[in-house]
A = this chain, B = another copy of it.
Amino acid sequence: METKIKIHLADDHQVLIDGILAVLKTNPNFEVVGFSLNGENLVERVAKNEAHVLVMDINMPEKDGIQVLREFNEKGFTCKVIILSSYDDPKLIKEVIKLGASGYLTKQCAGENIVDAITSVAQGNQYFSSTIKDKVFDIFTENNQRQALSIEDIISGITTRELEILGYICEEKSGKDISELLNISPNTVETHRKNLMKKLKVKSSVGLVLFATKHNLISIQ
């Protein structure tokens, strides 16, 4: 082993960082050059430390993992990224792979898997656990077999204005309320609402709210 693999860790759970730190310390090929508890300035910090591998959670304060990946692509950095997430939602996996992550592990994995994953992606390979590979397969078959619209397609068919209005509906605002908030005619608001209902195949505003909460289109406070 000529040079050590430089690693940066990012997760809002400090206890997990400390734990992985302790695990990685046992391997002489690894050198943890930094860690972050949120996504702020993460790209800059990784670049400055010249880390080879970034092990990152998706859910982080300030800036989430998806945004960080986008930034990596925009700025053309070559640092390999391994996602370490609690969730194995197909939508998320699809997005993450599209954004060029080299690996994806769920937190159900063993500490040893992280060691393997880091070694693997540092050599230019990819590393996905078998459960993740299964999910990817599901996405593939879903996209090629079913002619019906997938949830992703439905969601991507919503316009920004519609999403904005959906947000207000989910805040218990009436049509008139919204029209006053946006300075548009009540008729327009109702048109948007109707188009939303048609697109999301629901029968009422309650259906809109249910769809939005189910697919995390809005944040519930």
Chain B residue at minimum C-beta to C-beta distance from A107 = B13
Does A20 touch B at the CB level, under 8 Å? yes
Instruction: Report the nearest B residue to A208, measured CB to CB.
Output: B206
Within 8 Å of chain B (Cβ to Cβ): is A120?
no
Which residues from B are CB-within-8-Å of A210?
Answer: 170, 172, 209, 220
Kindly report which residue of chain B lies nearest to residue A11, judged by CB atoms: B107
- Contact in complex: A26, B22 (CB < 8 Å): yes
B residues in contact with A111, CB < 8 Å: 14-15, 17-19, 21-22
Partner of A209, one of B107, B109, B209: B209
Number of interface residues of A (CB under 8 A): 41
Q: Is residue A83 contacting chain B, with contact meaning CB distance below 8 A? A: no
Binds B, one of A39-47, A67-75, A95-103, A197-205: A197-205
Shortest distance between the CB of A129 and any CB in chain B (Å):
11
Find out whether the CB atom of B172 lies under 8 angstroms from the CB atom of A14: no
Residues of B within 8 A of A110 (CB): 14-15, 18
Contact with B along A1-33 (1 / 0, CB 8 A): 000000000001111111111110110000000
Least CB distance from A65 to B in Å reads 16
Q: Are B15 and A20 in contact (CB under 8 A)?
A: yes
B12, B19, B204, B206: the one within 8 Å of A18 (CB): B19
**Chain B residues within 8 Å of A205, by CB:** 204-206
A105–B15 CA distance with the chains assembled, in angstroms: 10
| A214 at interface, CB cutoff 8 A | yes
The A156-202 residues at the B interface (CB cut-off 8 A) are 169-170, 172, 174, 202
A residues contacting B by CB (< 8 A) are 12-23, 25-26, 37, 84, 86, 105, 107-114, 169-170, 172, 174, 202-207, 209-210, 213-214, 220
Closest 4 CB pairs between A and B?
A19-B19, A18-B111, A22-B22, A13-B107
